[in-house]
Amino acid sequence: MVQSIILSGVAVGCVYALIAIAYNVMFSASRVFSFTAGTLGMLGGVLGSLFILRMGLPVSVGFVLALAGGAVFGIITEIVAVRPVLKSLDQHLYVLSTLALALMVQQFTAIEWSTEPQPFPRLFDIARIDFDQQFWLPMLACAVSIVGLELLYRHTLIGYAFLAISEDNYAARALGLPERGLRMASFAIAGAIGALAGFAGGEMLLAFFANAPMLTFYGFVPVALGGMGNNRGAVVAGLLLGLFQQAANFLVGGIFASVAVFTVFIVVLLARPDGLAGASLRRRV
Amino acid sequence: MSITRRQALASGAAVLATTIAKPAIAAKDPIQVGYLPALTGPSSSTGVGINRGIQLAVQEINAAGGIDGRQLELITRDTQSDPTKAVNGAAELTRGQKVSCVFGPVNSGESLAVVPLLARTNTPQIHPCWVDTLTDPKKFPACFRNAPTNQQIGGAANRYVTEVLKRKKVAVVSDTTGYGTASVNAYVPMLKEKGAEVVYQGNIDAANPDLKPELLRMQNAGAEAIMPWSVNAGFLSRIINTRGQMGWDVPIVGQTTLGSGQTAALLEKQDFWAKVYPNNFRPVCFTPDGKMTDRTSAFVDRLKSAKIEMGDTLLWWIALGYDSPLMIAEAMKSVGTEPDKIVGYLNQLKSFPGVYGDISFTPDRHDGYPDEQVVMVEANSLKNGAFKLAPGYSA
C-alpha cells in the first residue's frame, strides 16, 4: 500500500512539476502568470489520444504532433492573451485574458472531443508490472525536461538570451536582443512542456477536458511553494505535493484531501511568503 | 336606416353561427405539449436517447389520427444540460406557448429548478428524474414521475447484494459530487437495515488517478462486494481496472453508468467487465435465455423498421421516451386537455402498460415506477442498448 502511494504520488507529482515548469518558463519570459498551463496539460492528453487512438498514427508521430500542438497553443497564448496586456502588467489583466483563453479552449475541447474521459493509449506494449509505464513515464518526462532546460539555460547562447530577458527586459532589449521573438519561443517551449506533462501522464489522468482546471490549480501550487521562476524548487514542491496529496487521499479520504493540500499550502506561504526555495526581491524605493 | 325585426334576427343568427363554428375550428388545432430535453451539453446522452423514443411515439400517435382528430405537437426547448436554460424554456412554454402539459426536463439538476416553477403555473408535468424530492403531491400536485426514485435504485442494488449474492460485508463508495455523497448517505443505512455490515464507506476524489490504496483498504476490511455510486465513467472504470489488476474476484454492484459504453471504453481489458452489475429495468432486459418480453420485442422491431439506432444508446432511454407521449395522449383522449382534468386522470392511473415499465399513480404517490421492475444486469452483456438480467433473477 505504501509502495502504491509513493509510486502514484511521485508520478502525479511529476505531472504537477511539469505544469509548474511551464508556468515558470512563461513567467520568466514575460512576468506573466499564464493560467493556460493546465490547459496545455489537458491538450497533451487529448491530442495524444486523438492522434494515436482515433487517427491510428504511430506513437512517435503522435508524440511529436501532440508536443507541436502544445507549442502552437503556447504561441497563440502569447499573441492573443499576453502581448496585448504586457503594457499594463501592474493591472494584472493577464489573469483575465489567460483564464478566458483557457476556458474557451476547455469548452471547445468538451464540445468537439467529449465531455466524458476518453482512453489514452498504452505507449509501450509491455506487460504491466508494479512499477508500470504509467508511473515511470511522467518521472522520465520530468527528468528529461529539467535536464534539458538546465542545459539550454546554462550552456547555449540562446539560453543566455532567455535568461537575459528574464533578468532585465529593458537592458536585454538595449543590447539588441529580439525580445518578442524570445518571448514567443519561451511560450512555445512552455507549450511543449505542458503538453508533455499531459501526454506522459495520459494513462493515469486519461484524455479528459476537465483535467485543464485541475492541472491549472494543482500546477500552480508548486510554483508558489517552490518560488516563482525557480524550476528546481517547482520540481521538489511538485513531488512533495503529489506525495502529500496521495497520502491525504488515503488517510483522510477524497473530500478532505484537497482541503488538506490547500491548508498546507496556505500554512507554508504564511511561514515563507516567497516559497520554500524562493528569495525575496529587493526593490529600490 | 331602420332595421327590421327580420333583419335583426338574421344578423343575430349569423353571429351565433360564427360563434358556434369557432370551437369546431379550434378543435382541429394541434395540441401543444411542452418538451424540455437536454439535447446538447454534458448531460445530453440521456436526452438524445429519450428523444428517439419520443419522436417515434409522436409520429405514431399522429399517423393514427392524433387525439380526437387533433395532432400532437411537441414544442421543444433544448435545455443544453443547463438548469438556467431549462427554467427559461419552462417559463416560455407555460407563459408564451401556453402548452397543455410538459414532459421533462430529463436530468435531475434541471428538474430541481423547473419543478417548483411549473407547480406555480399548475401545469401538468411528467418527468423521469430520480432525485427523491422531485415529486411531492402536496407541494407539486401536478408533477408526476414515470421513472424510479433514487431510493428504488439503491434499494434494488442493496437487495441484489444481500439477498441474491448473499454478501454480508459491503464497501460503499462514491465520488465527491452531491449525487455521490447523498447516495452513500442514503444507501448505507438501508444496507444496515437489511443486515449487511458496511465494512468500508468513503467519498473518493474522482480525479484521483490511482485507486489501489482505496481498494486495498476495502480488501483489508473484508469487503465481499463493492457498491460505487457515481455517474463518472472515469472514476468507475478506475475501480473496475484496479480490481482487475489486483486479481480480486469481488462483485461490483451499483449505478447504471457501470454498464455504459464510456465506462467500457476506459477498461484495460474487456474481461475486467465481468462480475459488474449495474442497475437496469426488467421490461427492457434480456432474460437469462436471451429473450425479451413480447411487448419489448415488438417495440424493438418497430425501432428497427423505423431505422432508429440502438447500439450507441440504451434501450431503456428510448423506451422511456416512447412511453411518455403515449401516456399523455391517453390522458388527453380520456379527459381532454384541461390541466385539472389531466392531473385528475393521472392521479388515478393504474398500470399504464409502458415498454419501460407499468406506471401507476395515486393522489398520494406520484412516483409511478414499480419496485420489482428495478433490477441488476450483467454489464458485459450489452447488446443493442440492452443487457441480460444479472445471475439470480428468474426469467
Answer yes or no: do B202 and A258 touch at CB < 8 A: no
Residue B170 within any structural domain of the chain: yes
What whole-number distance in Å separates Cα of residue B11 and Cα of residue A282?
Answer: 99
pLDDT of residue B3: 55
Q: Which domain holds residue A157?
A: 2-121+131-271
What whole-number distance in Å separates Cα of residue B167 and Cα of residue B25?
Answer: 65
| Average pLDDT for B327-338 | 94
User: Which one-letter amino acid corresponds to residue B215?
Assistant: L
Which of the 8 DSSP states describes residue A280?
Answer: P
Number of domains in chain A: 1
pLDDT of residue A111: 85
* Nearest residue to B48 via CA among B320, B271, B236, B301: B320
Residues of A in contact with B245 (CB under 8 A): 128
Nearest to B204 among A110, A210, A254 (CB): A254
Instruction: Give the residue, A92 or B390, on which the prediction is more confident.
Output: B390
- The whole-angstrom distance between B235's CA and the closest CA on chain A is 9
What whole-number distance in Å separates Cα of residue A178 and Cα of residue A164?
Answer: 11
Q: Which residue out of B229, B266, B270, B273 would a mutagenesis test of the A interface target, given it has the greatest number of A Cβ atoms within 10 Å?
A: B266
Residues B263 and B156 placed together within one structural domain of the fold: yes
Dihedral Cα B246, B251, B257, B260, nearest 10 deg: 80
pLDDT of residue A268: 83
Half-sphere exposure of B234 (CA within 13 A, CB side): 25
Residue B362 within any structural domain of the chain: yes
**Cβ contacts of A187 within 8 Å, gap of 6 or more:** A25, A26, A29, A30, A34, A74, A75, A77, A78, A82
pLDDT digits (tens, 9 = 90+) for A10-55: 999 999 999 999 999 999 888 888 999 999 999 999 999 999 999 9
- The whole-angstrom distance between B216's CA and the closest CA on chain A is 7
Q: Nearest chain A residue to B202 by CA: give it.
A: A253
A112–B contact, CB cutoff 8 A: no
Residues of A in contact with B268 (CB under 8 A): 128
Instruction: Give the residue, B356 or A259, on which the prediction is more confident.
Output: B356
How would you list the strands of the sheet with B31-35, edge to edge?
B72-76, B31-35, B101-103, B125-127, B143-145
The three three-digit cell numbers of residue A209, written as one number: 477536458
Residue A285 within any structural domain of the chain: no
Residue B142 within any structural domain of the chain: yes
Residues B73 and B136 placed together within one structural domain of the fold: yes
Nearest to B202 among A116, A118, A253 (CB): A253
Residue A223 within any structural domain of the chain: yes
Residues B138 and B277 placed together within one structural domain of the fold: no
DSSP codes, A158-193: HHHHHHHHHH-HHHHHHTT--HHHHHHHHHHHHHHH
Residues B130 and B43 placed together within one structural domain of the fold: yes
* Choice among A22-26, A181-185, A265-269 with the minimum mean pLDDT: A265-269
Q: Nearest chain B residue to A1 by CA: give it.
A: B213
Residue A53 within any structural domain of the chain: yes
Dihedral Cα B226, B230, B236, B239, nearest 10 deg: -40
Number of domains in chain B: 2
What whole-number distance in Å separates Cα of residue A259 and Cα of residue B50?
Answer: 39
What whole-number distance in Å separates Cα of residue A69 and Cα of residue B54?
Answer: 42
Residues of A in contact with B210 (CB under 8 A): 4, 7-8, 12, 204, 246
- The whole-angstrom distance between B211's CA and the closest CA on chain A is 9
Q: Nearest chain B residue to A211 by CA: give it.
A: B207
B181–A contact, CB cutoff 8 A: yes
* Nearest residue to A201 via CA among A145, A257, A265, A258: A145
Residues of A in contact with B213 (CB under 8 A): 1, 4-5, 246, 249-250
pLDDT of residue B136: 95
Looking at residue A76, which CATH number applies to its domain? 1.10.3470
Q: Nearest chain B residue to A114 by CA: give it.
A: B42
pLDDT of residue A13: 94
Instruction: Give the residue, B173 or B10, on which the prediction is more confident.
Output: B173
User: How many percent of chain B have pLDDT more than 70?
Assistant: 93
* Choice among B64-68, B225-229, B323-327 with the minimum mean pLDDT: B64-68
pLDDT digits (tens, 9 = 90+) for B189-208: 999 999 999 999 988 888 78
Residues B222 and B155 placed together within one structural domain of the fold: yes
Residues of A in contact with B214 (CB under 8 A): 249-250
Residue B243 within any structural domain of the chain: yes
Q: Nearest chain A residue to B201 by CA: give it.
A: A253
Answer yes or no: do A253 and B203 touch at CB < 8 A: yes
Question: Is the model's pLDDT at B21 over the cut of 60?
Answer: no
Residues B348 and B380 placed together within one structural domain of the fold: no
Residues B159 and B144 placed together within one structural domain of the fold: no
Answer yes or no: do A117 and B266 touch at CB < 8 A: yes
pLDDT of residue B80: 86
Residue B7 within any structural domain of the chain: no
Instruction: Give the residue, A255 or B176, on which the prediction is more confident.
Output: B176
pLDDT of residue B97: 82
| Average pLDDT for B120-140 | 93
A207–B contact, CB cutoff 8 A: no
Residue B23 within any structural domain of the chain: no
Answer yes or no: do A254 and B208 touch at CB < 8 A: yes
Looking at residue B142, which CATH number applies to its domain? 3.40.50.2300
- The whole-angstrom distance between B118's CA and the closest CA on chain A is 30
| Average pLDDT for B129-151 | 94
Q: Which domain holds residue B71?
A: 31-149+296-371
Answer yes or no: do B265 and A257 touch at CB < 8 A: no
A201–B contact, CB cutoff 8 A: yes
Question: Is the model's pLDDT at A285 over the cut of 70?
Answer: no
Does the global pTM surpass 0.90? no
DSSP E strand boundaries for B185-300: 197-203, 225-229, 252-254, 276-281
Residues B333 and B250 placed together within one structural domain of the fold: no
pLDDT digits (tens, 9 = 90+) for A207-230: 999 899 999 999 999 998 887 888
Q: Which of residues 22-41 of A touch B (CB under 8 A)?
A: none
A107–B contact, CB cutoff 8 A: no
Q: Which of residues 192-231 of B touch A (CB under 8 A)?
A: 202-210, 212-214, 216-217
Q: Which of residues 243-262 of A touch B (CB under 8 A)?
A: 246, 249-250, 253-255, 257-258
Residues B279 and B300 placed together within one structural domain of the fold: no
Residues B216 and B352 placed together within one structural domain of the fold: no
Residue B276 within any structural domain of the chain: yes
Residue B12 within any structural domain of the chain: no
pLDDT of residue A140: 96
Answer yes or no: do A5 and B209 touch at CB < 8 A: no
What whole-number distance in Å separates Cα of residue B47 and Cα of residue A35?
Answer: 34
Residues B162 and B128 placed together within one structural domain of the fold: no
A133-143 burial, b for 16+ CB within 10 Å, e for fewer?
bbbebbbebbe
Confidence of residue B24 (pLDDT cuts 50, 70, 90): very low
Residues B271 and B252 placed together within one structural domain of the fold: yes
pLDDT of residue B178: 75
